Amino acid sequence: MRQKYLYLEHYHGEKFNSAKKVNPKQRHFVIGSSRVSDLRLLGKNVAGVQAVVEHRPPFWYLVGCGNESDVIYNDQVVHEMKIEGGESVTIGEHSVKFYLSDPQKKLFSTETESTKELNSHQVLVVREGDIVETLFLNPGEAYKFHFDGEEHVLPAPPNKEWKFKQFGKYLVQQRLAHKPSDEDRQKPSLKLITGDLKTAGVSLFAFFAVFVSIGLLKPNKTDKKSNRYVQMVYDAKMMQELREEAEQVNQQRFVASEKQQKKTEDVTPEKEYVAKVVKNIRAKGLSKLVGRIAARAAKDAINIKALNQLSQDTARQRQQALSSADLFGKKLKVSDKKFKARKLASIGSLKAQSGAKGAKLSKGKVAAGEVGIVEEEIMLDGGLDREVIAAYIRSKLGEIRYCYERQLASNSDLHGKIMVKFTIGSSGKVNAKRVANTTLKNAIVEGCILRRIAAWKFPNPKGGVEVDVSYPFLFKSVN
């Protein structure tokens, strides 16, 4: 694909200042206030190197690299932008327009068409702004264009106005035009030099004569070092220095990134990790979540403390009841029937000793525990209200406590939390159940709880849908 030149138009406010043509072979085209900039913009808030135009075949790009002010396109700051053609960017009080073809260039002039004979059918084939074919046919001859395996017959237009026809990426232009004959080409006319051109030539010659006269009369005492422009003309070394200076300016935009990279290397992995964690917390709003967790932990602590006090009171009442009861050697009346205790096997931590006249009960350690519920972690999805499920489970806490206290007698340090997930069917029965998470880590207790939950019968859900429940149980010994 043929490389395209880039054309720039520079405006200060509404006033046109200059136009530039950028060769694709040029490495960088610098825009800024520096003396060595390719397009120099004077005024406030314009950096020495404000922007750089780069050619990365086959496209052109605009890179903003100024610190004094931003490069604005469509009310947005430009860091890097692909140039499509027709863009206009703003830098301070200046504006720069970009074109991929010369906006001032006209391929054909119509100034003298009206006075000449329209003796041919002119055809142009353009592909993406580039002319790929041009030819002259007879005035009435049709043009045949082949596209996608088909032949399209385009008749000659009736006048000199352009007629357009689009075929994919190809644009076919047609008109009637004047084709110069061989004789016209061999007879150049001096009339091409108009009166205005003659006047301009005379003025230019007069100015050149005056300039030469002043140069001859002035003493030859020019110091190359004192006159920069004379040095630029006569000193090739000076031109080389200017080129090197321009190259250094082009590389300044990479210095900031290198310094930033060096600072990044000085940061230790630990500091970088901490900074990244803090940034993620701020970005995702985790600080609010941490506050909620802290508040819930404080509430759990209060609930556990109250639960411990209640459990201690219950255990104390059980101890008093056991110490005051004389179960052996006396007759007990149950449902109008009399029984006498002879032997009592050990149950839990109660120990029975057999004697000649009966059995005596010795005081031992009582396995007492309590079960709590962390209400903030209760989750459900379905057709039953939270309070209905909570009320039913509270009525079954005795079964859950039994599973815990049965193992607490042999392991006094047993404590923790179990998160149970189960599904309530349309009939209210539990269809599925499992332990989702546990810190108790006792398979016997967990299996016992799942067997109890499998036998539960909840109220029928609304609409006959299934209800997914996640319920946390908190276990703690009160001994």
pLDDT digits (tens, 9 = 90+) for 268-313: 666 677 777 767 766 656 556 666 666 666 666 655 555 555 555 5
Residue 7: how many other CB atoms lie within 10 Å:
19
Same domain assignment for residues 11 and 95? yes
Residue 326 CA to residue 314 CA, distance in Å, equals 20
3-state SS, residue 228: helix
Same domain assignment for residues 379 and 473? yes
pLDDT at site 277: 72
178: which residues sit within 8 A by CB, 6+ positions away?
113, 116, 117, 118, 119, 120
Same domain assignment for residues 353 and 382? no
pLDDT at site 108: 54
pLDDT at site 61: 93
Return the DSSP state at 108: S
Same domain assignment for residues 448 and 352? no
Same domain assignment for residues 420 and 441? yes
Same domain assignment for residues 60 and 153? no
pLDDT at site 303: 58
3-state helix, strand, coil in the chain (%, to 5): 35, 30, 35
The pTM of the full predicted model, rounded to 2 decimals, is: 0.29
pLDDT at site 175: 92
Q: What crossing angle do the helices spanning 397-408 and 443-454 adopt, rounded to 10°? A: 160
pLDDT at site 353: 40
* Domain presence at residue 73: yes
Which residues of the chain carry a pLDDT beneath 50?
104, 111-112, 189-193, 222-226, 321-364
Same domain assignment for residues 51 and 72? yes
Same domain assignment for residues 89 and 33? yes
Total number of residues shown for the chain: 479
* Domain presence at residue 282: no
User: Residue 388: which of 463, 473, 300, 460 has the closest Cα?
Assistant: 460
- Residue where a domain stops, chosen among 127, 152, 177: 177
228: which residues sit within 8 A by CB, 6+ positions away?
238
Give the Å distances, CA to CA, from 52 to 88, 141, 157, 181, 200.
15, 50, 46, 48, 38
Return the DSSP state at 190: G
Residues 69/47, Cβ–Cβ less than 8 Å? yes
* Domain presence at residue 210: no
Residue 351 belongs to domain spanning? 326-364
CATH number at residue 473: 3.30.2420
Same domain assignment for residues 354 and 407? no
pLDDT at site 444: 93
Same domain assignment for residues 401 and 461? yes
Residue 415 CA to residue 407 CA, distance in Å, equals 10
- Residue where a domain stops, chosen among 65, 99, 133: 99
CATH number at residue 39: 2.60.200.20
* Domain presence at residue 337: yes
Total domains present in the chain: 4
Beta-bridge partner residues of 359: 354
* Domain presence at residue 12: yes
Same domain assignment for residues 377 and 358? no
Helix (H) or strand (E) holding 401: helix 397-408
Give one DSSP letter per residue of 259-273, joined into a string: HHHHHHHHS-HHHHH
Residue 20: how many other CB atoms lie within 10 Å:
15
* Domain presence at residue 228: no
- Residues of 442-453 as b/e, b for ≥16 C-beta within 10 angstroms? beebbebbbebb
* Domain presence at residue 74: yes
Same domain assignment for residues 439 and 373? yes
* Domain presence at residue 21: yes
